[in-house]
Structure 1
Amino acid sequence: MRTAWALIALFWAALASAESRPVQDLPWEALIPAGFSYADLAAQIEAPTAPLSSLADDDPEAQRLYSAMRDALAQAPVVDAYDGLSVRIAGFVVPLEQDEDRVLSFLLVPYYGACIHTPPPPANQIIHVETQGGFKTPGLDEPVYVTGTLRTERHDADLGSAGYTLYAGSMTPYL
């Protein structure tokens, strides 16, 4: 147990050191690799056996298509060049873990309602955010800036798959 705590302390110390580097403002579009095409993801999904408009939500064919679509979106590629950079990015918080009025880990998404409404965005448009101690929970409809070290680490959650993980040092209102 002592070793685990030592590793955690070293990680957060490295994060604090990384945050002393210049912070790069990062737009969401930059997280999509050059040449990426949604058509490439769509090609991974077997065509429906019936017109989509004829399928009810609980139809097995609709469920198969939705599952295939989520799987394809979860595999969207990331931009490896951003691994380890100190960044600031604006987005909306989708809480994963909370403690009273603080959010401890969350998904950061580019638009309001992403991950809550289906389907979720592709993995290169979802960032899993880890905090040390959490941040005051904003409203789900309130955009924020999150600053920290970005890693190309995947994280799968019930609400969607993130292609990036951000080890956050701060979260501020988007102004």
Structure 2
Amino acid sequence: MRSLLLSVLLLAGAAQAALEETDWLDLMPEADRKALLEMPEITHDSPEADSGFYTPDGGGLRSADKAMPDFMYSAQTVPALDGREILLGGYPVPLETDQRGQFVEFFLVPYPGACIHVPPPPPNQIVLVRYPQGINLEDIYAPLWVEGVLRVEVSSNALADFAYAIDAEKVELITE
């Protein structure tokens, strides 16, 4: 009986230790969230060549369309999330591989195809993921779970401006 009670307590502790999924909207300050929810529908009728993206190599996650609302360029963060362990689901935009061809750095974004989608996410909806053990990213349209400590890290690289980074402890395909 005692071992059964111990097993139940261990299972209950493991269930409590599991992280609850963080919503992408939680990464936006209240004013940005409100502006997003009140934004009119965006059409996706234009061909990719006319999408308004800009990077020096001709593709990327930056929008050159200055007619977009200001919050679409927002790097404003939620300071209370800095240092918090989170579980975030999203889609990868591959950046850097190791010598084995495994991706050790990628952006996580809230919707698939963000590198060709109109409009690209605002910087506070782009998370730089560092994952030293690497993952094989065969399909950028396959969603991932990323678990780790979220840091406010407003920065940019050749592909995008971003407002958060995660040193991932665990990255896995979402299979449900």
Equivalent residue, structure 2, for 1:146: 146
Tell me the residue number matched to 1:104: 104
Q: Distance in 1 between matches of 2:139 and 2:82?
A: 29
How many Å apart are 1:27 and its aligned residue? 0.8
In structure 2, the residue matched to 1:35 is 31
The whole-number CA distance in structure 1 between the counterparts of 2:127 and 2:67 is 19
Residue of structure 1 equivalent to 2:82? 83
State how far apart, in whole Å, the 2-side matches of 1:158 and 1:112 are: 20
The answer to whether the 8 Å contact 2:75/2:154 transfers is no
The answer to whether the 8 A contact 1:32-1:77 is kept is yes
How far apart are the structure 1 equivalents of 2:107 and 2:73? 14
Conserved in 2, the CA contact under 8 Å of 1:26 and 1:88?
yes
Greater share of helix: 1
Relative distance call for 1:83 and 1:31 in structure 2 (3 A) is: same
Give the letter for the 1:66 counterpart: A
Q: How many residues align?
A: 136
Structure 2 counterpart of 1:23: 19
1:1-175 to structure 2, matched below 5 A, reads: 23-36=19-32, 38=35, 66=64, 68=66, 73-99=72-98, 100-174=100-174, 175=176
Provide the rounded CA distance (Å) in 1 between the counterparts of 2:172 and 2:126: 19
Change (3 A) 1:130 1:164: same
- The letter for the 2-side match of 1:140 is I
Instruction: Give the residue type in structure 2 aligned to 1:144.
Output: L
Residue of structure 2 equivalent to 1:15: none
Output the amino acid matched with 2:79. Answer: D
Q: Distance in 1 between matches of 2:159 and 2:35?
A: 20
Give 1:38 shift.
4.4
Deviation at 1:75, TM superposition (A): 3.5
Q: TM-score with structure 1 length normalisation?
A: 0.65
Alignment TM-score, normalising by the size of structure 2: 0.65
* Structure 2 unaligned blocks of 5 or more: 1-16, 40-45, 51-62
CA RMSD, Structure 1 to Structure 2 (Å): 3.2
Q: CA deviation at 1:131?
A: 1.4
> Which residue pairs with 1:4 in the alignment?
none
CA 69–93 in structure 1, closer or farther in 2 if over 3 Å, else same: farther
